[in-house]
Structure 1
């Protein structure tokens, strides 16, 4: 599983990264959360508003910071 947080470094982007890492820890997963800040890379996902959460190369959320609980639900099979 790959998890990416797309964002340019704003407060919401940092908060989403924190929530994603906490969700990974909660589930006991041994994976890292990658932060993508390059605008061209972000746009390659079709994302026009940040922050965005990408799981296994599929955009799951855009323009909001879901709670840790919500991210846990996204990550569970």
Structure 2
């Protein structure tokens, strides 16, 4: 496995979508390539951080507005009546 392919496989492995034969190939590559192994360790370190980010905290995603949600629900209910 070449590094370029390994980097793509790393992302798939993190997401849990890498198939078994490629997992073995990636593992062998990581054992032999310090650069890709370092990138793998960095990705593993980021995983716990992703669990702490709320989607609305990301750039470009609006913060939830509970008052607006209630108002829209009231309007929808009034429209049904």
TM-score (norm 2): 0.26
Kindly indicate which of the two structures has a greater share of residues assigned to helix: 2
Relative contact order, higher structure (CA 8 A, sep 6+): 1
Larger radius of gyration: 2
TM-score (norm 1): 0.27
Kindly indicate which of the two structures has a greater share of residues assigned to strand: 1
